[in-house]
A = this chain, B = another copy of it.
Amino acid sequence: MINQLNKKMEQAYEAFLSYQQVSGKEKKEFLYAIAEEIEALGDELLQTASEESNLPVARFAGERGRTCGQLRAFGDLVAEGTWVEAVIDTAIPDRKPLPKPDMRKMLIPLGPILVFGASNFPLAYSTAGGDTASALASGCPVIVKGHPAHPRTSNLVSGAIQRAVARCHIHPFVFQHVDGTSFEIGKILTQHPLTAGVGFTGSLSGGMAIYHYAQQREVPIPVFSEMGSTNPVILLKDALQHSAPELAKSFAASITMGVGQFCTNPGIMLGIKSSVLNHFTSLLALELSMIPAYKMLHEVIHKNYTAGLDKVLYDKGVETVYHAHAEGSLTGSPVLARVSAETFLRNPDLRHEIFGPFSLIVVCENKNQLTDVWKILQGQLTTTIIGTDHDLELNKDLISIAKNIAGRIVFNGVPTGVEVSNATVHGGPYPASTDGRFTSVGMEAVKRWVRPLCYQDCPDFLLPDELKNNNPLGILRKVNGEYSRQSAS
């Protein structure tokens, strides 16, 4: 097995030497071709993903749209070209005491990237998901370790990518797929000297295992593990007073979306003790009771969910507000619990993510206690504030807490449903991710797989197009401190 994996990494590096020269326009064609080949798989893909994940077929029509949409969006980004952050400072030969050299920099790809997909999004965060799409867009070859929970889906998508590779005459080892269930595969690939970076989406234990494998390397490489969070929601009084029924409905849907198996699931909700908070809690329980319980992704996730619930619900001081009756195997019952802030602050176990359709309402005595609870939560992908303008005006200081714990602050919405946009941040302080300086969703995700390279006094004919004087690509560049699409000379 080791020999085979070593060979794959060597082939990936060989592909890198070729693929790093490929233009943005050609990469766009390739990424569009991948999207087309995935769409050409038709219903078979949706059906297979549904069978392997226990999630409905309809969900995968949407997820396929997201997957292909982000492939095309990355294609557009690199074809336009400004993403390389070209910066040019032209020479000043007569500067005193020393002449100023001509300096030009741009972003270049790192090398072969290893991707570990997530089980909860077999399309959008897996084989051809955001990590793969962003790495291929940046100019890096990709080796995907297929998720053992959806091997057939992964192989179908892998086949689609390989057909796109052939169609576009891209180096055949720009994309490779590795099957297998052994952790050893992930370890060997992470520790291979030619691996230049790792993208992972999944559990805290899985993400940190990969991170620790990488720490044993001689040469450090970037590891971006997105590991989820409890996504705390702050419920302010005026909003509860005005909109409890609507809020209960939308949060019930958010908590149970995908059987709660979203990394942005609202797992903790904070409010100040009041009759409106009680009212909202009752309405939320009622809404949850109207949503049927579905099967979870696979046995391990179901086992962890049940164990997580057991740990919390039988804790002294935790009150079960609603617990759906579970029928059939692997069913993830929606559960709502409530606890006082005092108990919550005392028991660190209550702060951990329980992956599934669960949320815990923490009842605080006053605003000070609410901020104490909020601050004690560790790094988050998201935090949400529910409040009318009046609430927000009175609680402006809450923003600074939100800023320091999360990658994304949601106002008057639900944290589930991560928009793929230029402004998306899907990442955040640990343990939401291993490096809060990057995002794994949205256009900025390419930044994980590149580094800046500076050319000093390079003759124009040797410069890459992005840095040539006459700006043949017409990209926006920072030239002597000013942003411009003009020629630099």
The reply on A215 being an interface residue by CB < 8 A is: yes
Q: Give 1 or 0 for each of A94-133: 1 = CB within 8 Å of chain B CB.
A: 0001101101110010110000000000000000000000
| CB interface residues, A 472-489, toward B, < 8 Å | 476, 478, 481, 483
Stretch with Cβ within 8 A of B (4 or more), from A49-57, A149-157, A280-288, A418-426: A418-426
Q: Give 1 or 0 for each of A419-435: 1 = CB within 8 Å of chain B CB.
A: 10111110101110011
* Residue pair B458, A422 in contact (C-beta under 8 Å): no
The reply on A413 being an interface residue by CB < 8 A is: yes
Question: Given A101-B419, A419-B101, A421-B103 in contact, is the A454-B413 Cβ separation under 8 Å?
Answer: no
* Residue pair B400, A456 in contact (C-beta under 8 Å): no
Q: Give 1 or 0 for each of A383-417: 1 = CB within 8 Å of chain B CB.
A: 00000010011001001100110111111110001
The reply on A17 being an interface residue by CB < 8 A is: yes
* Residue pair B424, A454 in contact (C-beta under 8 Å): yes
Q: How far is the CA of A429 from the CA of B111 in the complex (A)?
A: 11
Q: Given the complex, which residues of B lie within 8 Å of A82, measured CB to CB?
A: 483
The reply on A87 being an interface residue by CB < 8 A is: yes
| CB interface residues, A 429-453, toward B, < 8 Å | 429-431, 434-439, 444, 447, 450-453
Q: Given the complex, which residues of B lie within 8 Å of A481, measured CB to CB?
A: 422
Q: How far is the CA of A450 from the CA of B459 in the complex (A)?
A: 34
Q: Give 1 or 0 for each of A5-32: 1 = CB within 8 Å of chain B CB.
A: 0000000000001001100000000000
* Residue pair A403, B108 in contact (C-beta under 8 Å): yes
State the oligomeric state as a number of copies. Answer: 2
Question: Given A108-B403, A400-B21, A419-B101 in contact, is the A454-B425 Cβ separation under 8 Å?
Answer: yes
Question: Given A220-B430, A430-B220 in contact, is the A105-B437 Cβ separation under 8 Å?
Answer: no
* Residue pair B101, A413 in contact (C-beta under 8 Å): yes
**Nearest-Cβ distance from residue A343 to partner chain B, whole angstroms:** 24
**Nearest-Cβ distance from residue A453 to partner chain B, whole angstroms:** 6
Question: Given A108-B403, A456-B411, A457-B413 in contact, is the A219-B430 Cβ separation under 8 Å?
Answer: yes
Question: Given A215-B215, A437-B451 in contact, is the A419-B100 Cβ separation under 8 Å?
Answer: yes
Q: How far is the CA of A431 from the CA of B89 in the complex (A)?
A: 27
* Residue pair B459, A87 in contact (C-beta under 8 Å): no
Q: Given the complex, which residues of B lie within 8 Å of A435, measured CB to CB?
A: 220, 222
Q: Given the complex, which residues of B lie within 8 Å of A437, measured CB to CB?
A: 110, 222, 447, 450-452
Q: Given the complex, which residues of B lie within 8 Å of A410, measured CB to CB?
A: 456-457
**Nearest-Cβ distance from residue A388 to partner chain B, whole angstroms:** 10
The reply on A462 being an interface residue by CB < 8 A is: yes
| CB interface residues, A 221-248, toward B, < 8 Å | 222
Most buried by B among A222, A452, A476, A478: A452
* Residue pair B454, A409 in contact (C-beta under 8 Å): yes
Most buried by B among A62, A82, A389, A436: A436
* Residue pair B456, A408 in contact (C-beta under 8 Å): yes
| CB interface residues, A 314-360, toward B, < 8 Å | none
* Residue pair B87, A399 in contact (C-beta under 8 Å): no
Q: Given the complex, which residues of B lie within 8 Å of A436, measured CB to CB?
A: 110, 451
* Residue pair B105, A423 in contact (C-beta under 8 Å): yes
A88 touches which of B103, B409, B423 (Cβ 8 Å): B423
Question: Given A108-B403, A439-B452, A453-B403 in contact, is the A419-B103 Cβ separation under 8 Å?
Answer: yes
Q: What are 11 A-B contacts defined by CB distance under 8 Å?
A: A101-B419, A103-B423, A105-B423, A111-B404, A219-B379, A393-B461, A407-B451, A407-B452, A407-B454, A409-B456, A427-B451
Known: A105-B423, A437-B452; 11 extra A-B contacts, CB below 8 A, are A89-B421, A105-B444, A215-B215, A219-B379, A407-B452, A407-B453, A429-B451, A437-B447, A437-B450, A438-B451, A476-B483
